[in-house]
Amino acid sequence: MRMSTTAIRTICVAAVVAAAVVSVAASGPAPDRERALQPQAIERVGGPAAANVASQRTKGPQPATACQQIAFNIGLHQGATQVVVVLTNSATATTGTVQLAERGEQGWVCGAAMSARVGRNGVRPLLQRRSGDGTTPAGVFPLATMTAWDGQRFSFFGNSADPGVNAGAYRRVRTGDCFGATPNHPDYGHLVQRSAANCANGSDEYLPNITGAYQHAALIGANMEPNVSGDAPGEIPYASAIFLHRFSYDGNNNTKPTAGCVSLSITNLTTVLRAMRPGVLFAIGETNWLLANT
């Protein structure tokens, strides 16, 4: 189990932010892990006032769209200059949009909205979800970096060659790459070496076999290394294997919702991956929830 004082940055609803992430009980994380998870919450602009934060800016255009306002709020607290904004119309929607928000001298500019798919059961704040519940974690997360079984550190991966990413290292999927997703197992949330047959247990994913959706992918830092809750007995398995990846399709060539990731067309995915810079953040959730909680 990897432990670190470095916190995964997330946001959650006011009640969750105000309280401890989880009580220190047999069913929850150990006290040291709870301390590591709690600072993840981003300081939020209080309640309805969030929509009025733009008035604090005296130069340049004011945020005019939800994407701009959300990016502005995050930049105000985190100093971010780039945010991948993933919005849905409701907490149960399985479709949404992705926009790349960039901060320039004249304020935040959001690119065109790209059609996206999210979890088959919608979106849910990270600390309220559990692995396997079919929701995409909602919150603000970094681009994650993890260490593979062979020692390579990476933030992007895929069964196809590096499309030209600039925000972190790219790992070309290789034989033996198994992403652990079985709760309360040491491999949960880590890329380990196993055979295809031995990676078929529970929710674990043998990456070489997922050649379509995982043509290219980025690691969304929702409960990822170094602070993975759920890779030891008694810890809460909030999420594992949360990626930005390519659409999956059904037999009629219609896009499918994900098991908890965010997906795009290969053209839009490649565009976003190439445009991402070090320090990029992901803001994911129902539009009104994100406006109220960033």
| CA 224 from centre of chain | 9
* Residue 1, domain member (yes or no): no
* Residue 80, domain member (yes or no): yes
* Residue 101, domain member (yes or no): yes
Residue 153: name the closest of 227, 208, 225 by CA: 225
* Residue 220, domain member (yes or no): yes
Overall domain count for the chain? 1
**Can you tell me the mean pLDDT for 169-188?**
97
The tens digit of pLDDT for each residue in 41-81 reads 333 333 323 333 443 444 555 678 999 999 999 998 888 99
Range of the domain at 127: 14-293
Opening angle at CA 128, ends 257 and 38, nearest 5? 125
Residue 60's pLDDT is 53
Q: Tell me whether the omega of the peptide bond preceding residue 226 falls within 30 degrees of 0, making it cis.
A: yes
Q: Does 16 have pLDDT greater than 50?
A: no
* Residue 20, domain member (yes or no): yes
Q: How confident is the model at residue 187 (pLDDT cuts 50, 70, 90)?
A: very high
CA 23 to CA 30: how far, in whole Å? Answer: 10
* Residue 5, domain member (yes or no): no
Q: What is the CA radius of gyration of the chain?
A: 18
* Residue 3, domain member (yes or no): no
- Rounded mean pLDDT of the chain? 84
One-letter amino acid of 22: V
The tens digit of pLDDT for each residue in 109-150 reads 999 999 999 999 999 999 999 999 999 999 999 999 999 999
pTM for the model stands at 0.80
* Residue 262, domain member (yes or no): yes
